[in-house]
Chains A and B, each alone.
Chain A
Amino acid sequence: MSPRALRDLAGVALVGLGLGYALSRIGFSSWDEVHAMFTFQKFDLLIAFVVGLVVLVPVWAVVRKISRPRWLSRPIHQGTLAGGLLFGVGWALSGACPSIAAVQIGEGQFGGLFTLAGMFGGNFLYSVAHQRWFRWSASTCVDD
């Protein structure tokens, strides 16, 4: 395995451990906490999200200045609004954004297995639906 591949694997392992731990300690992996965020009963999750943004804005600005990275742009396309809305409904129902199902399983909340299975199934369903009906550019891949 190339050094680069090893670096990628080590980096992803570290990031996954850190993210799983943090999401759990913040309360993002709790259905009740997510529900309290969406109904504005508790603000810690919203604050976490906003503080995350506030930290990241200047960091990316500096990275952009120094190393001129080739970041994929994320323009609005036909799926942006509808996809976001569907994701929001699913998040409120299951209490899980894509990272969370795995974190819940680790925490012994095995209901997350249902969410994880559904998430992979839904991703697969979209890829089939996209090929059959939508055929617009989803911005990250080159299609016909």
Chain B
Amino acid sequence: MTYWPGWIGGIALALVMIVHWFGVGRMMAVSGRVTAIVDRLRFGRAEAEDEDMSEAELLAALRAETEAAFGSGAVREPAAQATDARPSGARRSPQPFLTHPLLFVAMGVGGLLATTGGATPTWMLRSEGFVSLVGGSQVLAGLVLVVGGVLVGFGTRMAGGCTSGHGLCGVSRGERGSLLATMAFFGAGVITSFVLGSLL
């Protein structure tokens, strides 16, 4: 398997993030979509959509609740200005829930299209290093992957982002949290990989 040179890959990744911004009107954030799916399963429809509220919608909702509780006029006008000054391109309404699972299905199809014939399906990974790490054991492979997956899911939600939202889109906007998270996950990846490498 010959891979694209790094610079072509980089342009492709950047294009994907740009198309996401212009096509969907928000920043790409894959782990955020995992969170949206998990919360929908956990809390059902209403809560999941609350999570997707924009700041402006939250302000409007808070205002409505406050007025319902304390009578109209309870909210002074600066709040209204904040809701009116919505610049173009900002998120205005929750995106359909279906977009979240759809992204994962579409990425799978993308992977399928990129795999040219002859690649045998496997319940492992097609990587010699990984197969040697688990000593060819399917049980151990499943265990390592589940544990790794749990750490990925737990850590990305804890840090509030992953390689797309923090790493590419956050760092390129100069966000400090993204910079710290990205240094942390690259650093931890390097150390863990050197430890694993000594086991191979």
Contacts and interface: CB of A to CB of B under 8 A. Distances in A.
Interface of A: 1, 4-5, 7-27, 29-33, 35, 38-40, 43-57, 59-60, 63, 67-77, 79-99, 101-112, 114-127, 129-130, 138-142
Contacts of A70: 54-56, 86-87, 90-91
Contacts of A71: 27, 173
Nearest to B169: A56
A82 B142 CA distance: 25
Contacts of B154: 83, 86, 90, 122-123, 125-126, 129
B106 A17 contact: yes
A121 B149 contact: yes
Interface string B43-82: 0000000010011101000000000000000000000000
Interface in B173-189: 173, 175-178, 180-189
Contact of A63 (B21, B31, B119, B170): B21
Given A11-B23, A120-B34, A25 B9 contact: yes
Given A15-B20, A118-B145, A80 B181 contact: yes
Given A17-B106, A31-B125, A83-B156, A94 B148 contact: yes
Instruction: Say what secondary structure dominates the interface of chain B.
Output: helix
Contacts of B167: 49
B138 to A, nearest CB: 9
B120 A108 contact: yes
B10 A54 contact: yes
Contact of A119 (B42, B152, B169): B152
A30 B126 contact: yes
B32 to A, nearest CB: 7
B10 A38 contact: no
Nearest to A75: B177
22 contacts: A18-B19, A20-B106, A22-B110, A47-B7, A48-B4, A48-B7, A51-B13, A71-B173, A80-B160, A84-B180, A89-B188, A92-B148, A92-B192, A92-B196, A94-B148, A103-B111, A108-B119, A114-B146, A118-B149, A119-B152, A124-B153, A126-B154
A108 B122 contact: yes
A111 B151 contact: no
Contacts of A111: 122-125, 130, 141-142, 145
Contacts of B180: 76, 80-81, 84
A61 B30 CA distance: 22
Given A87-B159, A92-B193, A24 B114 contact: yes
A93 B192 contact: yes
B95 A35 contact: no
